[in-house]
Amino acid sequence: MVVTESVDCSLEGAVSSLRSGGFVLLHDATSRENEIDMVVAAEFTSPEHVRMMRAEAGGLLCVALSNEVGKKFGLVRMHDIFLSAARQYPILRSLNEEETPYGGRPAFSITVNHRRTFTGVTDLDRSLTISELAHLAKKAIENGQDSTGEFAKNFKAPGHVHLLLESEGSLEKRRGHTELSVHLCELAGLTPVVALCEMLDGNSHKALSIDSARTFARKNAIPIIEADQVISDFFKDSTFYAPQSVSPWNHGLS
């Protein structure tokens, strides 16, 4: 464990950590989920990254894909899959969530395993699935071509890695961890595919508090940032955005 005297709360520090294959802790907003996710670029995800996310974060391990990558893979949201399938299976219409308690539709798409995995759930298997998603995404972006065939050739469903799709228009339309983390990866000049996992608290049995996340960040030398920092960068050339909250990292850092 690396213990530091202070917490890096800068956007620059977060981008630098992603570029070097490190984690970032990302808080969305007190007015939204009020959760902190552990985030790492998918192209660097190793079995140790997966171990740390399941052991230290404890939430649902997902992979966020940019809107462009999702389209090239031929993916759609689970919400739309349920609506389509409900014509034959009516129960799916009743189960379908139109809006989450914190606003907007869920970003979830399907779950996948890479075809070279065995069960798909081990640290080795999930890191393979995650890193190969980034590898194929990079090829799809560079080639500028539809990659639905390659996606089906390399991955199978259902699996153990949950896919999240960035909204069309990104942070203009939705301000969830999916859009925030994808924009962070783009800022870092990396493939816009991100592994992320919510941080949970084993004592309160709720989401990890901001203060506890700050302590974890300091002990492990991981940058921790607020959504407003990412959103402000996204809208930096616009006169229509003003941050909606004051960052809790601005005062009393130790």
70 φ, ψ (degrees, to nearest 5): -55, -40
Select which of 28, 33, 37, 125 is catalytic: 37
> Is 241 annotated as catalytic?
no
> Is 62 annotated as catalytic?
yes
> Is 220 annotated as catalytic?
no
Select which of 9, 28, 49, 113 is catalytic: 113
Angle, CA 198 vertex, CA 253 and CA 194 arms, to 5°: 100
> Is 185 annotated as catalytic?
no
Task: Give the Cβ contact number of residue 228 at 10 Å.
Answer: 19
Q: How far is CA 130 from the centre of its chain?
A: 12
Select which of 9, 62, 185, 197 is catalytic: 62
> Is 27 annotated as catalytic?
no
Cite the DSSP H helix spans in the chain: 11-19, 47-52, 67-72, 78-85, 91-95, 123-143, 148-154, 177-187, 210-220, 227-234
Select which of 35, 125, 166, 198 is catalytic: 198
> Is 113 annotated as catalytic?
yes
Residue 58: strand, helix, or coil: strand
Q: How far apart are CA 136 and CA 146, in angstroms?
A: 11
Select which of 96, 135, 160, 241 is catalytic: 160
Contacts of 56 (CB under 8 A, 6+ apart): 38, 199, 216
Select which of 102, 168, 201, 211 is catalytic: 102
Quickly list DSSP for 235-253. TTT-SS---SS--TTSSS-
SS3 annotation, 115-153: CCCCCCCCHHHHHHHHHHHHHHHHHHHHHCCCCHHHHHH
| Catalytic machinery residues | 37, 62, 102, 113, 160, 198
